[in-house]
Amino acid sequence: MSDKKTEVWRERLASPLTWHYVGFGVLLVLVIALATRFALDWAATSSRTTDALVGKQVQLKAMDLQTAPLRGLDKRVALTRDEIRLFYAKRIPANYSFIASQIGELAVKSGVRLSRVTYAQGAPGSELTEISLDAGISGDYPQIMRFVNSLERDKAFFVVRAMSLAGQQGGLVNLRLRVSTWLRPADAAASGLPQADTTGEPSGTEGQ
C-alpha cells in the first residue's frame, strides 16, 4: 500500500501540472507580498505628501496675513495725502493777521476780555510751524466756556494747551490760557513773530 502511495507521489511530482501549480502559488505569494509593500509605501508617501501640503498651506496663510496690511498701500497713501492737503486748505490759517483777528472776533462774540496777549512761533518745521498764544482771559464762567468751545470748533485749527486759574472776584473769573495753532513755514517767517525762548515762554507781547 505504501508503495502505491509513493508511486502516486512520484507521478505527481513528475507531472508538469504539479509544477505549474507550485509556480503559480509562489508567484501568487510574491504578488501579494509586493502589493502589500506597495500599499504600505504608498500610504507613507501619501501621508508625507499630505503633511507637506498642509505645511505649505500654513506658510501661505502666514504670508497672506503678513502682507495683508500692505495691500492697497499706494491708494491709502494717496488718499492720506489728499486728506492732508484738504486739511491744510481748510483748517490752517493763511497768515498771522487771520489768527489775531479770529481770536479777537471769538472773544467779542463770547463776551470775554483778553489781556496780556503774547504770540510766538516755534522752530520751523518741514510742513508747519507752531504759533503759540498766551493770554489772560476774564469773564464769567459761561462766557469763558463759550470762548473755549468756540476755539475748539473754529474752522481754523486751534488747540487749547492749558488753562489755569489766575484769580476770581465775585462772579468774574480770571484764567491764563495757552493756545496753539500752525502756519506754513513761509507764512510764519513773514509774520515777524518772535521765537519762543527755551522755556517755552513767548517773548513778544501784543495787547488786546
204 in a structural domain: no
Cell of 84: 492732508
Q: Is the pTM of this model over 0.75?
A: no
* Domain containing residue 171: CATH number: 3.30.70.60
Q: Are strands 172-183 and 129-139 parallel, antiparallel or unpaired?
A: antiparallel
| Exposure on the CB side of residue 18, measured as CA atoms within 13 A | 8
Question: Which residue shows C-alpha cell 509544477?
Answer: 19
Total number of domains constituting the chain: 2
Domain that holds residue 178: 89-191
Q: What is the DSSP letter of 92?
A: S
List pLDDT tens digits, range 187-203: 999 988 888 764 444 44
Give bridge partners of residue 70 from the DSSP assignment. Answer: none
| Exposure on the CB side of residue 145, measured as CA atoms within 13 A | 3
Look up residue 21 and give its amino acid.
Y
Q: Residues 57, 96: one domain?
A: no
Closest to 133 measured CA to CA, from 175, 196, 187: 196
Cell of 176: 491764563
> Is the confidence at residue 68, as pLDDT, over 80?
no
List pLDDT tens digits, range 102-133: 999 999 999 999 999 999 999 988 889 999 99
Q: Residue 182 and residue 117: Cα distance in Å, rounded?
A: 17
